A and B are shown apart, each in its own frame.
Chain A
Amino acid sequence: MRFLVFIEQRQGRIRKASLEALALARRLAGGPVAAVLPGKGVTPLAGALGKSGAGVVYVADRDDLELYSNKGYVGALDAAAQKETPDVVVIAATAMGKDVAPRFAARRDVSVLADVMDLRLEGDRLVGSRPVYSGKARAEVDCGTAALQIATTRPNVFPAERDEAAPDARVEKLEVGEIAPRAHVLAVETSESKELDVAEADVIVSGGRGIKGPENWPLIRDLQQALGAALGASRAVVDAGWIDHQHQVGQTGKVVSPTLYVACGISGAIQHLAGMGTSKVIVALNKDPEAPIFKVATYGIVGDIFRTVPEVAKAVRAAKAE
């Protein structure tokens, strides 16, 4: 079976989510797979993808691919697919991957196993497992009888195994036709001091209505920094305007699966649980022992978060200093 993996880079850095997708493809294929890498000045990054599972990397290295355009990046994927004729295409379900995958699929008259959290082969057919109804249920999905099978993988779920002994990938230059996209990126505006995004974070510390007001974010920020985590928030505090929507975890925010999720002053409405219920370890800090968050939590402390959160931050720092 032939696999092709779409590799995303931003500003010359390969995304971890893409390395996860590449390692997964190698595991399923039982050996090196093909990859495609679009961007500007990306050729030097290609060889090292061999450590993550690439046997060959098709590189589309052009000035007009410096910034993302769906026309240019889907075009590069399409050109690589024409060369490689894959049975399976794997793409990380990042903002870019969610843009590229459906367009490429429609071009090939197929659909996508979107945002899978598990992917395996039954014979030569992909079987995925993916959250549906905002994480309240899981569907096992396949591609019917479609000849080309495409999956996008949820970031942070699959291990990004490396084989340091593996040889560098062979690099092949890809010819891409005229791009001239009708939608093109003018600028990338990094928000609020280049914060780690909850969708990509391994550890998340979230605040809810229990923080009582936006002036109390430093309480949560302190623990967030102690853990080196991303900052999350419940819908209630986003709707109240206490923090920007990009921090929202839950049904109408981001659906996340970190290793550790710490919920501070979050009662655990069904919409919030839908967004973080697949976290590996959940810690709940809340004053109400009946709060639904304790039903999904691994560890819980019932108490005033204005007293417990600073103590936890202190204990984390002490433990890390050991």
Chain B
Amino acid sequence: MNSLVAIAYVPDTETRIKVAADGKSLDETDVKWIVSPYDEYALEEALRAREAAGAGVVTVVTVGPERAKTGLRECLARGADEAVWVDSGDSRYLDALATAKAIAAVAREGQYDFFWFGQKGVGADESLVGPMVAELLDLPHVGSVVKLEVAAGKVTAHREIEGAHEVVESSLPVVLTAQKGLNEPRYASLKGIMGAKKKPIAEKKLASLGIPEADPANARTRWRKLELPPPRQACHMIPADDPAAAAKELVRLLREEAKVL
């Protein structure tokens, strides 16, 4: 069972976001970077499939600047066998299509049963790259998977939709995006961390993969401006000495002032 797991190396979810001087990108000073939480579920599921089959290789891939290699090392420490870093060079803000094309180019160089993605990165939050890679490779995909059963030559995946689960059967190879609830990701062991230093990270240049969208002039989507949300008005505190009176006042305000009841 060979898997290719694509990861995004993104600002820690606890990070306070600041806007850079250009007014349209992230101020990266003091930002702590992490492997996107959903990608951890994806990696864990690939590792388990390899362990259950008793054979196979788990490859992790990322498209990004040099720091993204740290994210690959973390995945190697958790048990991935090998890694591919696609150096995005100056094009640090690739759009989803360019990223998907780069991952698809790496995917075509190997033989994989599973292509795993997190259901979203927690950066641009677009949830686009996984299904785009499926389309580019002409493969089936199942998004937002919360449970997976693997049988000979096929999978049954439970996917989260509004208020329900869809049970989807797919042939292999298949593209899957991982949703929270799929599994409990393991931590890297000390042995894993030591071993990761010896595992290979193959390096590719985005420019050499022949992706026109890597040139910002060809970007299919662009950020024109990045802003923090407008501050909310100060909270109207309702005195709570008498809970019944406070509740009545709250309901009155919701009806008459906010007009939402």
Contact = CB atoms under 8 A, between A and B. Distances in A.
A137 B96 contact: no
A306 B19 CA distance: 41
B221 A137 contact: no
A307 B221 contact: no
A217 B122 CA distance: 30
Contact of B235 (A103, A138, A194, A298): A298
Interface in B89-148: 95-97, 100, 122-136, 139-144, 146
B81 interface: no
Given A111-B97, A140-B223, A251-B13, A96 B254 contact: no
A159 interface: no
Interface stretch (A29-37, A160-168, A169-177, A278-286): A278-286
Contacts of B151: none
Contacts of A188: 161, 164-167
B208 interface: no
A154 to B, nearest CB: 11
A260 B258 CA distance: 9
B97 A133 contact: no
A1 interface: no
A138 B146 CA distance: 28
Nearest to A98: B127
Given A102-B96, A138-B227, A115 B140 contact: no
A68 B166 contact: yes
A61 interface: no
Contacts of A115: 125-127
Contact of A284 (B16, B38, B222, B235): B235
Contacts of B17: 133, 136-137
Nearest to B227: A138
Interface in A177-232: 181-191, 194-197, 199-200, 203
Contacts of A245: 146, 179-181
Contact of A246 (B160, B169, B218): B160
B22 to A, nearest CB: 13
B125 A281 contact: no
A314 interface: yes
B236 to A, nearest CB: 5
Contacts of A260: 254, 258, 260-261
B227 A137 contact: yes
A54 B114 CA distance: 40
Contacts of B32: none
Interface in B239-261: 240, 243-244, 246-248, 250-251, 253-255, 258, 260-261
Contacts, number: 292
B103 to A, nearest CB: 12
Contacts of B220: 105, 109-111, 143-144, 146
A312 B250 contact: yes
B168 interface: yes
A277 B229 contact: yes
Contacts of A113: 221
A121 interface: no
Q: Which of A183, A301, A320 has the most CB of B within 10 A?
A: A183
B169 A184 contact: yes
Contacts of B122: 133-134, 251-252
B163 A194 contact: yes
A139 B254 contact: no
Interface string B53-84: 00000000000000000000000000000000
Contacts of B52: none
A107 B167 contact: no
A98 B224 CA distance: 23
A114 interface: yes
A299 B126 contact: no
Contact of A315 (B165, B218, B250): B250
Contacts of A307: 243
10 contacts: A105-B97, A115-B126, A137-B19, A139-B224, A140-B224, A200-B163, A259-B260, A270-B14, A294-B237, A308-B240
